[in-house]
Amino acid sequence: MIKAWLVVKELLRGARITSRHFFVNMTFHTLRLFGVKTKRRGAVTIQYPEVRKELSPRHRSLHRIRPRDDGKPSCVACMLCVTVCPSECLYVEAAEDPDPEVQKRPASFVVDLNRCCFCGFCVEACPVDAIRMDTGEIRLAARGRADLRIPLDKP
Amino acid sequence: MLADTLIVLVKVVLALTWTLLLALFLTWVERKESAVMQDRIGANRASVFGIRLFGLFQPFADAIKMLFKEDFTPAFSQRVLHWLAPALSFFFVAVSIVAVPFGNPVRLFGRTIPLQVADLNAAVLFVLAMLSLGIYGILISGWASSNRFALIGSLRGAAQLISYEVGLGLSLVGLVMVFPSLSLSRIVDFQGGLLFGAIPKWGVVIQPLGFAVFFLAGMAGTKRVPFDMPEGESEIIGFYTEYGGLKFGLFMFTDFLEVIVFAALATTLFFGGWQVPWLLDGGFSFPWGGGPALPSWAVTVLRVLSFNLKVLFFCWLQVLTRWTYPRFRYDQVMDLGWKVLVPLGALNVLATGLVLAVR
């Protein structure tokens, strides 16, 4: 008898919790529907394509090559990023730069997002701070594998 | 004669439309309510020309999706039975709504029209019988699929539904003893009276234990989550393993129909049906005296509204229950049915009998 009462009590407690959530959330939904500003929202959902959550400042997204003042890529084709890359997804071809101060430039700088694991080692390794992963572009879907080989030296 | 037939036809169409529309939007209610309970938003993307309206078009989108799916029949299944099963289970549930009174009889063009498709004099038995016959849909579906898991699910379903029929029947015996009638319209009429001249004489006031047993047994009868033995989404897929497209949709729709029929039954039997507390045919008459008089059309509107609100409340309550409690194990379901609900129902009958005999 006592056990049965305990069971019923717990059942009612559960129903109280869920219905409290329901009514509190419904109150906030209704208030917002009628244009009343409330501090709380009825739901924690972020409706993704329309509303974006702000990315953390230390996030890692699609790579970019920081340009020099004259607009050319600041990469000096030292190949350190290619060496450190654990997924071997960077393809850099070096070429001679007309500027004697720079000596080398990338003739092509391709990142293969099929392979990239977004570890950020290339960013750490770069001696001239040329490659960065701060574009904020996280929607990296493509129709085919070829579309995921992204040339970075073209602006 | 022709007029009578026409009236019955209109009533059938209206009742069916009411039930089907409610069932259609109950799918939406279920998704939205569970979402709000869990601090989510729920389906809100379906739109017509950019108008979203809280995702109210979602049921139609789902229906279109179901329509365009392949109507698949497995190679070893028995085709006729495979087709018959969803139709049967849908039919038996849908037909039980005819016995439910939606409002008080209205006088129209010199006729008295009861707002009820068929005023059966044994409506309680009729509804119980129809809800029991729904088992055939489940059994046949499991057998015709020729799939082991479907068969296990359907057998479980049959065992569960038959067990809970006993509790359901017993819980109503006490009620029938108090309101000495098996006709739902008479039962609703009786519930218009007052207890001690103040409290509405609703079934739940006179038969609280009976209502508790009825509610639990009825929840089990709808075979939704706390009692989802036949389906068992997380262990066996249940009796509709081999169903897809519209046939599966019909099964799912039947589940929601059962929720509505059960809500309508709980309203009619225990919560006064279309009765509004202290509302008589001429208007309100409060126990502390007085109350505004109302024209008869306003009274009817209030009563139909009250019936609908009560049904909606019970639908809400069932969805809340479904999303609050974890599911039972099979033996726990059987224990609850035979060891708790049946004795409690019998106790209720005894207690009611004693009170009636002493009084």
Beta-bridge partner residues of B200: B194
User: How do residues B158-192 score in pLDDT, each as one tens digit?
Assistant: 999 989 999 999 999 999 999 888 999 999 998 98
Nearest CA-CA distance, residue B238 and chain A, Å: 27
Average pLDDT along chain B: 89
Instruction: Tell me if B32 is assigned to some domain.
Output: no
Rounded to whole angstroms, the Cα distance separating A22 from A43 reads 10
In the prediction, which pLDDT does A116 show?
Answer: 94
With a cut of 80, say whether residue B289 has pLDDT above it. no
Beta strands in B177-319 (DSSP E): 194-195, 199-200, 279-280, 283-284
Instruction: Tell me if B1 is assigned to some domain.
Output: no
Chain B residues with beta carbon closer than 8 angstroms to that of A29: 36
In the prediction, which pLDDT does B16 show?
Answer: 92
The minimal CB distance from A18 to the residues B35, B320, B340 is found for B320
Torsion of the alpha carbons at B51, B54, B59 and B60, rounded to the nearest 10 = 0
Q: Chain A contact for B36, CB < 8 A? A: yes
Minimum Cα–Cα distance from B226: chain A residue: A11
Q: What is the mean pLDDT of residues B323-348?
A: 91
Lowest mean per-residue pLDDT among A108-122, B33-47, B210-224, B225-239: B225-239
User: How do residues B188-221 score in pLDDT, each as one tens digit?
Assistant: 998 988 888 788 889 899 999 999 999 999 999 8
User: How do residues B71-129 score in pLDDT, each as one tens digit?
Assistant: 888 888 888 999 999 999 999 999 999 999 998 888 887 788 888 888 888 999 999 99
The minimal CB distance from B40 to the residues A4, A18, A45 is found for A45
Beta-bridge partner residues of A64: A132
- Residue contact B320–A22, C-beta within 8 A: yes
Q: What is the pTM of this model?
A: 0.87
Q: What is the mean pLDDT of residues A22-29?
A: 93
For chains A and B, what is the number of CB pairs under 8 angstroms?
Answer: 41
Residues 6+ apart with CB under 8 A from B223: B157, B160, B161, B229, B230, B231, B255, B258
- Residue contact A22–B40, C-beta within 8 A: no
Instruction: Tell me if B56 is assigned to some domain.
Output: no
Rounded to whole angstroms, the Cα distance separating B24 from B51 reads 19
Instruction: Tell me if B218 is assigned to some domain.
Output: yes
Instruction: Tell me if B46 is assigned to some domain.
Output: no
User: How do residues B253-269 score in pLDDT, each as one tens digit?
Assistant: 999 999 999 999 999 99
Instruction: Tell me if B55 is assigned to some domain.
Output: no
Instruction: Tell me if B36 is assigned to some domain.
Output: no
Nearest CA-CA distance, residue B223 and chain A, Å: 19
Identify the domain containing residue B228 by its residue range: 67-358
Percent of chain B with pLDDT over 70: 100
Minimum Cα–Cα distance from A47: chain B residue: B41
Mutate to test the interface with B, among A25, A27, A34 (most CBs of B within 10 A): A25
With a cut of 70, say whether residue A155 has pLDDT above it. no
With a cut of 90, say whether residue B242 has pLDDT above it. no
Total domain count for chain B? 1
Average pLDDT along chain A: 90
Domains with residue ranges and CATH for chain A: 1-45 (no CATH), 64-151 (3.30.70.3270)
Evaluate whether B103 touches B304 at the Cβ level (below 8 Å).
yes
Q: Which of A127 and B234 is assigned the larger pLDDT?
A: A127
Q: How large is the angle between the packed helices B342-358 and B208-221, nearest 10 degrees?
A: 150
User: How do residues A79-136 score in pLDDT, each as one tens digit?
Assistant: 999 999 999 999 999 999 888 888 888 999 999 999 999 999 999 999 999 999 998 8
Q: What is the mean pLDDT of residues A43-64?
A: 90
Instruction: Tell me if B48 is assigned to some domain.
Output: no
Chain A residues with beta carbon closer than 8 angstroms to that of B40: 43-45
